[in-house]
Amino acid sequence: MSPPRRKDSGPKFQSESVKTDIRSPLTTAQGVQIPDNHHSLKAGPRGPTLMQDFILREKLMHFDHERIPERVVHARGAAAHGYFKLYKPLSQFSSAGFLQDPAVETPVFVRFSTAVGSRGSADTVRDVRGFSVKFYTQQGNYDLVGNNMPVYFIQDAIKFPDLMHALKPEPQHEMPQASSAHDTFWDFVSLMPESTHMLMWLMSDRAIPRSYRMMEGFGVHTFRLVNPHGQSCFVKFHWKPKLGLHSMAWDEAQKMAGQDPDFHRRDLWDAIESGHFPEWELGVQLVEMGKEAELGIDLLDATKLIPEELVPILPIGRMVLNRNPDDFFAETEQVAFNPGHLVPGIDFSNDPLLLGRLFSYADSQLSRMGSPNFQALPINRPACPMHHFLRGGQLQASVHRERAAYEPNTLASGTEFRVDGATQGFQSCPDVLESGKLRQQSASFDEHFSQATLFWNSQSQAEKDHVVAAFCFELSKVKSKEIRQRTVDNLAHVDMKLASRVAAQLGIDAPNAVAAAGRLGFKHHKMQSQLQEAPSLSMIGRYKPDISTRKVAVLAANGVDMIAIKRVIQELTDAGLQCKVVAPQLGHVGTASGRTLAVDFSFGNTSSVMFDAVLLPGGVACADALCRLGAALHFALEAYKHCKPICAINEGVLLLGSLGFSQSQQKDTALTVPTPGVVIADSQKAIEGQISQTFIEAMLEHRHWDRVNLDSVPA
Ligand code: HDE
């Protein structure tokens, strides 16, 4: 493992942050030294506490106000600092300063989040993930406030509060937490067919990522790039993770929510602390103005994406996250993203969902932080020079010395100061508006199913099975039979097989596409899709595999054959993997050759869901002890059930005995892969260094979703 490299990146304000000499005496907020921090002021040692104890009152008062309201959505999150670097100048398309010079490192602060749960909820729930990036550019802050899915539930901002009231816990008892599996959500979306495409993504494995580091990111809406001549083109933004795109098994995600609710937060933190800096490539899909009609996709409709197969992604730069926050509250909690934070060279499209967001974010921050001065907080203020006449407000921290807080003026410097708005600064794209006021939308927005079908058609068999299972799980938690039926009737417009499989599992009537189409609010203006399938919509096989930082559990007990696995562990470590010994108890286990092996975890304080792969070493006594320990058997079977790579050496295979694997399989061949991702080998092969490669190859697949008969595995 490479040593920690804590690079000092991020905006300059860091140098101004409060530094306390921890050896200096404690003081009050007024700077008065505190004589005793353990006892309040009393009338005698047993007497009543005195009101005049200003030290006690100040301490309690501040504590009482330590919390601020959590974000109404995306409350649960984790963030990191880093930088963005361009590959080559993009001046042909955009005048944005940070898109001109490949030598410049633009500081960024990135916050990942779940959308539905409250601040203390679990990380691994089924949900869309927020992917917010603040670029501290020399022309001001630019925020790309996106998600890990490229489309959204609704087309118009006016529906957002309804969507969220339906999706958040139900109001009478505030249940369920951080879950869409309840009646109000499915009631709403089943009456809102425009959400169907997003539902396909939400029911897919994209909604249960393995790590924030292994998610794609999307700007979702169409924006515009504007070049120095004022010419613009449509743009969609994409983040592509260097570590590839990976998910968990649903059963695993649910168990993880209990085992380690902080799993994603910890994973991001640990990776950065250990110098394994997560990285994404920023790419753009560009569409020339006037050419959008040729795509047959309305670019202003946030329930639609542009398949990469129609408009390829142009990679423009890379982002590296290399520093954890110093203070979660001051940075991650107080950071204020806003899709309205633009810089010259980037502009909005007329997407009605995007334009509504422009109001909502600053308004939300105002309510959370209680003052418009949240913009001046260290994490929010730009890294470039500022000059404005925003004054006063609660908690104004700046001391403005000028008398002339207005423009134009001559008093400030003795000469006239006037802003020239014609050419300088942010120039909005000069649009010609089409018509008068209307509460309507374009007929092209009435097309709700073709991209949902395209998504379904583009999934591998295993991915399709997961989507079906997710619909079944969610709808099984819905108590109203009518809502379940309405949902599968809608799904009949996506794919009859999908809808029928879900209906069969729920024990309800066969899907009825006609009934769905006859319902109030159902509009379906069918558009011909240019594609039958789009491989880019599947998660499988699209990234160059990279397994660095993955965790391998080595199950051990007294008598473990360490000689056989020493080389395997070394080779896995050299490949960037982290091998951790899990044993019946902490401390050490004795090896077959009379040595000791340090233990990292016990079966009592960890579980298989915390690991990406499992190594089952040989040793008669070790295998015998582990086979008699339910927790060890469960560990191995559960890893198998979650489709994780497993390597068993000699007697280690006995832990998989109930699945039909046996030592005879290794005797015949010495090394075999009887089932996808299961490597069985004898110790000689391990000593000769012949199994690590096969095990690593199994790990490059991440998960072996095509394993058969998983339902019969008792874990
Ligand atoms: Fe948000 N959204 N949103 N949203 N959203 C918020 O802003 C809102 C939408 C997204 O890490 C809030 O500061 C409206 C789409 C992320 O701090 C709030 C609409 C997308 C985050 C808000 C949308 C997002 C938020 C809550 C429909 C993907 C977390 C507190 C018009 C492109 C940002 C806050 C962070 C947060 C409103 C729809 C992503 C209430 C009205 C579409 C990643 O202002």
Q: Is the sign of the CA dihedral 212, 265, 263, 699 positive or negative?
A: positive
Q: What angle do CA 258, 128, 349 make, to 5 degrees?
A: 160
Q: What is the mean pLDDT of residues 270-276?
A: 97
Q: How far apart are CA 701 and CA 671, in angstroms?
A: 19
**Between residues 540 and 715, the one the model is more confident about:** 540
Angle between helices 461-476 and 496-506 (to 10 degrees): 40
Q: Is 512 a catalytic residue?
A: no
Closest by Cα among 615, 630, 609 to 556 = 615
Beta strand 279-288 with 578-583 is unpaired
Q: What is the pLDDT of residue 19?
A: 65
Q: What is the 3-state secondary structure (H, E, C) of 645-680?
A: CEEEEHHHHHHHHHHCCCHHHHHHHCEEEEECCEEE
In sequence order, what E strands does 175-313 have? 217-218, 223-226, 232-241, 279-288
Q: What is the mean pLDDT of residues 479-487?
A: 98
The CA distances from residue 329 to 66, 77, 202, in Å, are: 9, 11, 30
Q: What is the pLDDT of residue 16?
A: 53
Q: What is the mean pLDDT of residues 202-220?
A: 98
CA 711 to chain CA centroid, nearest Å: 29
Give strand pairing partners of 78.
112
Q: What is the mean pLDDT of residues 575-582?
A: 96
Closest by Cα among 364, 356, 231, 372 to 289 = 231
Q: Which residue has the tokens 């609710």?
A: 261
Question: Band of the pLDDT at 630, cuts 50, 70, 90?
Answer: very high
Q: What is the mean pLDDT of residues 434-457?
A: 92
> For ligand 1, what atom is nearest to the CA of residue 146?
32
User: Does residue 446 register a pLDDT over 80?
Assistant: yes
User: Does residue 414 register a pLDDT over 70?
Assistant: yes
Residue of 71, 114, 377 with the most ligand 1 atoms within 8 Å of its CB, for mutation: 71
Residue owning the nearest CA to atom 44 of ligand 1: 361
**Between residues 47 and 176, the one the model is more confident about:** 176
User: Does residue 101 register a pLDDT over 90?
Assistant: yes
> For ligand 1, what atom is nearest to the CA of residue 335?
17
Q: How far apart are CA 511 and CA 495, in angstroms?
A: 10
Q: With contact defined as beta carbons under 8 Å apart, do 655 and 633 qualify?
A: yes
Q: What is the mean pLDDT of residues 582-586?
A: 98
User: Does residue 92 register a pLDDT over 70?
Assistant: yes
Q: Is the CB of residue 303 below 6 angstroms from any atom belonging to ligand 1?
A: no
Q: What is the pLDDT of residues 64-91, one digit of tens each?
A: 999 999 999 999 999 999 999 999 999 9
- Which residues have C-beta within 8 Å of that of residue 489, sequence separation ≥ 6? 499, 511, 512, 513, 515, 516
Residue 437 CB-density burial (10 A; 0-12 exposed, 13-18 middle, 19+ buried): exposed
Q: Is the CB of residue 215 below 6 angstroms from any atom belonging to ligand 1?
A: no
Lowest-confidence region among 131-145, 524-538, 602-616, 663-677: 663-677
Q: What is the mean pLDDT of residues 318-323?
A: 98
Q: What is the pLDDT of residue 690?
A: 81
Q: With contact defined as beta carbons under 8 Å apart, do 715 and 655 qualify?
A: no
172-187 burial code (b ≥16 CB/10 A, e <16): eeeebebbbbbebbbb
> For ligand 1, what atom is nearest to the CA of residue 354?
31
Q: How far apart are CA 625 and CA 373, in angstroms?
A: 63
Q: Considering only CA atoms, give the Rg of the chain.
A: 29
Q: What is the pLDDT of residue 435?
A: 83
User: Which tokens in the block code for residue 379?
Assistant: 């994490």
Q: What is the pLDDT of residue 564?
A: 87
Residue of 357, 366, 377 with the most ligand 1 atoms within 8 Å of its CB, for mutation: 357
Q: What is the mean pLDDT of residues 417-425?
A: 81
Lowest-confidence region among 299-303, 324-328, 651-655, 681-685: 681-685
Q: What is the mean pLDDT of residues 476-490?
A: 98
* Percent of the chain residues topping a pLDDT of 70: 97
Three-class secondary structure of residue 566 per DSSP: helix
Q: What is the mean pLDDT of the chain?
A: 94
Q: How far apart are CA 547 and CA 611, in angstroms?
A: 13
Residue 531 CB-density burial (10 A; 0-12 exposed, 13-18 middle, 19+ buried): middle
Q: State yes or no: cis peptide before 176, omega within 30 of 0.
A: yes
Give the Å distance between the CA of 357 and the centre of ligand 1: 7
Q: Is the sign of the CA dihedral 31, 36, 38, 39 positive or negative?
A: negative
> For ligand 1, what atom is nearest to the CA of residue 74?
29
* Percent of the chain residues topping a pLDDT of 90: 87
Give the up-direction half-sphere exposure of residue 161: CA atoms within 13 A in the CB hemisphere.
4
The CA distances from residue 441 to 221, 350, 528, 615, in Å, are: 16, 12, 20, 57
Question: Band of the pLDDT at 460, cuts 50, 70, 90?
Answer: very high
Q: Is the CB of residue 505 below 6 angstroms from any atom belonging to ligand 1?
A: no
Q: Is the CB of residue 380 below 6 angstroms from any atom belonging to ligand 1?
A: no
Task: Let me know how many helices (H) and strands (E) the chain has, helices first.
Answer: 19, 19
Question: Band of the pLDDT at 674, cuts 50, 70, 90?
Answer: confident
Q: What is the pLDDT of residues 631-671, one digit of tens each?
A: 999 999 999 999 999 999 999 999 999 999 987 776 666 67
Question: Band of the pLDDT at 14, cuts 50, 70, 90?
Answer: very low
Give the up-direction half-sphere exposure of residue 478: CA atoms within 13 A in the CB hemisphere.
30
Question: Band of the pLDDT at 523, cuts 50, 70, 90?
Answer: confident
Residue of 134, 337, 359 with the most ligand 1 atoms within 8 Å of its CB, for mutation: 337
User: Does residue 113 register a pLDDT over 90?
Assistant: yes
Q: How far apart are CA 416 and CA 404, in angstroms?
A: 12
**Between residues 567 and 497, the one the model is more confident about:** 497
Q: What is the pLDDT of residue 1?
A: 38
Residue owning the nearest CA to atom 43 of ligand 1: 130
How many CB atoms neighbour CB 260 within 10 A? 19
- Which residues have C-beta within 8 Å of that of residue 138, sequence separation ≥ 6? 97, 98, 383, 384
User: Does residue 45 register a pLDDT over 50?
Assistant: yes
Q: How far apart are CA 140 and CA 584, in angstroms?
A: 56
Beta strand 678-681 with 646-649 is parallel
Residue owning the nearest CA to atom 42 of ligand 1: 152
Q: With contact defined as beta carbons under 8 Å apart, do 187 and 245 qualify?
A: no
- For the chain, how far is it from start to end, CA to CA, in angstroms? 32
User: Which tokens in the block code for residue 4?
Assistant: 């920690």
Q: What is the pLDDT of residue 530?
A: 82
Q: Is 238 a catalytic residue?
A: no
Closest by Cα among 323, 322, 241 to 280 = 241
Q: What is the pLDDT of residue 361?
A: 97
Three-class secondary structure of residue 31 per DSSP: coil
Q: State yes or no: cis peptide before 382, omega within 30 of 0.
A: no
> For ligand 1, what atom is nearest to the CA of residue 364?
44
Q: What is the mean pLDDT of residues 557-581?
A: 94
Give strand pairing partners of 82.
108, 321
- Which residues have C-beta within 8 Å of that of residue 535, sequence separation ≥ 6? 309, 458, 542
- Which residues have C-beta within 8 Å of that of residue 646, sequence separation ≥ 6? 613, 614, 615, 616, 636, 639, 640, 656, 677, 678, 679
The CA distances from residue 546 to 212, 352, 698, 701, 714, in Å, are: 15, 39, 12, 10, 31
Closest by Cα among 580, 633, 655 to 610 = 580
Q: Which residue has the tokens 């066969």?
A: 510
Lowest-confidence region among 32-36, 156-160, 605-609, 683-687: 683-687
**Between residues 559 and 524, the one the model is more confident about:** 559
Q: How far apart are CA 8 and CA 107, in angstroms?
A: 10
Give the up-direction half-sphere exposure of residue 167: CA atoms within 13 A in the CB hemisphere.
24
Q: Is the CB of residue 362 below 6 angstroms from any atom belonging to ligand 1?
A: no
Which entry of 37, 39, 62, 74 is annotated as an active-site residue? 74
Question: Band of the pLDDT at 3, cuts 50, 70, 90?
Answer: very low
Q: What is the pLDDT of residues 682-709, one digit of tens each?
A: 888 777 778 899 999 999 999 999 998 8
The CA distances from residue 132 to 106, 199, 212, 653, in Å, are: 15, 21, 12, 45
- Which residues have C-beta within 8 Å of that of residue 633, sequence separation ≥ 6? 626, 627, 655, 658
